[in-house]
Amino acid sequence: MPSNPPVVAIVGATGAVGAAFLESLAHRKFAMKELRLLASAKSAGKTLDFAGKPVTVQELTNDSFNGVDIALFSAGSGISKTFAPVAVKAGAVVIDNSSAFRMRADVPLVVPEVNPEAIKNHKGIIANPNCSAIISMTPVWPVHQVNPLKRVIISTYQAASGAGAAAMEELLESTRAYLDGKAYPPKVLPHPYAFNVFSHNADIEMDTGYNGEESKIAAETRKIFGLPNLAIAATCVRVPVLRAHACSVTFECERPITPETVRDLISKAPGLKLVDDREKNYFPMPIDASGQEAILVGRIRQDLSDPSGRSISLFTAGDQLLKGAAQNAVQIAELLKN
């Protein structure tokens, strides 16, 4: 258990999620004895603002974790695999935002609104789930508590923020070029980004036809919910939105269920905000979700293709950099402190 207040390190502090870590720690007034910002050698010496004060970035080395209680990682799975064990050996609890450890049996995969009790089983590393898994499935959890899920179909509309700061910049630059009538060959993503949508840039699994992002959502949801046999299918698409993912979710329950029941459950659940105004045709949008801690949920309606009345369709939007990444990790850190 970390000391109180803990010494906190951020690995990957100069990236998009690193900036969101700083934003979330400050916004949630997370008490710390010391904050260490760690990144590659080329970023060492830079200063970043935290709560109005400059903090100098240090080079990430094997000695970076001496005295650290909680290490927040968001620098890619390769860095996590190399340095997370180093941090654990030094006495830190690692909360990792990469895919490196998510499916390991000895590593809890945690969404605090869903399975906070899972952190009790950690052995030094706690995994942060895939951003789209968090944003799509957290709203379904309160429904599952009263009427268990049988099947889920998800389509995601994923922003540039999910691919990092460089992809966000590519969206801005390619949009400017498009509007100016200039060519802009993609550098970060595999296809033209401005005014375009395309299959998520994760590798395609040749035997199934699903991409890696889709498989992550299915596998991670089963682990988080404790439902190894849950029938789930996902289609993940990259859209020209700068920040915040959106998801279309249709789920089938064991018993008939009404939109009114789902609305009531979501309106009372932590971490969710109901945005479901049929009269004004106003539902969750990435532009509204950006910068918000809550996941927006709306378009709650009966799935009319299921005559049994057991299926509901809804739409969500959530800030990928906050609840989909940094904020979820900070919430886990809050659980560790308590």
> Beta strand pairing status for 70-73 and 245-253?
unpaired
> Beta strand pairing status for 93-96 and 295-302?
unpaired
Cβ proximity of 23 and 326 under 8 Å:
yes
Cβ proximity of 335 and 28 under 8 Å:
no
Q: Cα 123 to chain center, whole Å?
A: 22
Is 131 tagged catalytic? yes
User: Distances from the Cα of 71 to the Cαs of 12, 38, 106, 280, in angstroms?
Assistant: 11, 10, 18, 44
Q: What are phi and psi of 57, to 5 degrees?
A: -80, 135
For residue 328 the two structure tokens come to 């979820």
Catalytic hit among 122, 131, 144, 253: 131
Catalytic hit among 144, 245, 247, 253: 245
Helix axis angle for 16-27 and 327-337, nearest 10°, is: 50
Active site residues: 131, 245
